A and B are shown apart, each in its own frame.
Chain A
Amino acid sequence: MIATPRLVQVRQHLLKENDVLARVLRQRFHDAGTTVVSLVSSPGAGKTALLERLLTDCGADYRVAALVGDLATDNDARRLARSGAPVRQIVTGTVCHLDARMIAGALADWTLADLDLLFIENVGNLVCPASYDLGENRRIVIVSVTEGEDKPRKYPTIFDSADLAVVTKMDLADAVGFDRAAFEASVAAVRPGMPIEYVSSRSGEGMASLCHMIAPPIHRRATAGVAL
C-alpha cells in the first residue's frame, strides 16, 4: 500500500527560539524598570563614539550600562569603560549579529534593577541584525553623513526593523555635502514616519535631544520584523 502524504500545520516563526527568549528578556527588563536601547549600523558609522557620548551624557541622570558586540577584540568595551559605566563585551567569533541568547548570557550576573538604561551595541552589519529581536524597547539605526543619503533604500530591512534613525558625524556634514532632505526622503520611503535625530559625537551637537528621546520611561517597542 502506498502511503498518502498528510499536511500538518505548524505555523511557527523560524526564529521562534530567539523570539521566545527575546520576550522573556523584554519582560525581565520591564519588571526591573530597565529601558533597553539597541544600536545597529554598518561598521564605522560611529556607534561606539555615539555610545561613549550617550554613556557620559545620559549617565549624568540615569544609571547606565552597555553590552557591545564585535567579532573579535574587547577594544570597544575597554574604550567605553572609561565612562565609568559597567560595560561588557560580547565576542561573537564569526557570528554576524547578536541574538537574544547572547544577551541573556552576557547579563547573567548583572542586577537589572540597578540599571535605568541599558545600551546594546550590535555587530556592525546592516543586514543580519534586522531579523533578531533582542528584547530591546527601542532599536536605533545609525547612519553617518559620509555613507550616502540613499543608505535606507539600500538596506530597507534594517530600517524597517528600527524605531529611530540617528545621523552621526554632523560636524562633517558640510564638508561631505550631506543632503538632509534626500536622506529624509530615503527614510520616508522605507519607514514612513520614523523620527530622525542628527548628532555629532565629537561636538556634542544634538546629544541633548537624543538623550531626551531615549530616556526612560519608555517601554514596549513593536517586535521587529515578526508577524506572529
Chain B
Amino acid sequence: MHELSVAIGMVDMATAEAERLDGEVLALHLKLGPLAGVVREALEFAFELARVDTPLAASLLVIEEVPVSVYCGACGREQVLEPPHWLMCPDCGAPTPDVRHGRECELVALEMTE
C-alpha cells in the first residue's frame, strides 16, 4: 500500500503547479500502466485522504489506463498485450522484452480555471 505516498506526492506536485499557474485545479489527468506497480483503486482511495485540507479538496481525479504494448521483432510491429503481464507476442508467441508502453505513472495535465 504505497499508493498513499504516491498520492501525497501527486497532491504536492499539483498544488505547486497550481500555485505557479495561479489558478484552481478542476481535475488532475493521470496515465497509469499495469507495469507501474500502482493500483488504480488504491490510488483513488489514497487521493481522497491526501487531498484533505489542500487546494485540491474539490478536484477530480481522471485516470487513463494505458495498456501494455511491446515491440515484437519477429512481427516487426508493436502489439498490445492482454493480459498485460506476459511479455509474449499474441500473434507469433515470441518473447517480447521490449516494452513500449504500460509503465506510465504520470501526471499528464491539470485542468485549471482560466
Contact = CB atoms under 8 A, between A and B. Distances in A.
What does DSSP make chain A's interface, helix, strand, loop or mixed? mixed
Contact-residue size bin, chain B (C-beta under 8 Å from the other chain) = 35 or more
Contacts of B2: 95-97, 127-128, 131-132
A6 B111 contact: yes
Given A128-B2, A192-B97, A225-B35, A15 B110 contact: no
B37 A225 contact: yes
B73 to A, nearest CB: 11
Contacts of B23: 6
Interface in B24-70: 26, 29-30, 33-38
Interface string B99-114: 1010111111111111
A108 interface: no
Given A14-B10, A191-B97, A8 B109 contact: yes
A193 B95 CA distance: 8
Given A131-B105, A189-B87, A6 B112 contact: yes
Interface of B: 1-2, 5-6, 9-10, 13-14, 17, 21, 23, 26, 29-30, 33-38, 85-88, 95-97, 99, 101, 103-114
Interface of A: 3-18, 95-97, 99, 127-128, 130-132, 153, 156-158, 160-161, 188-193, 225-227
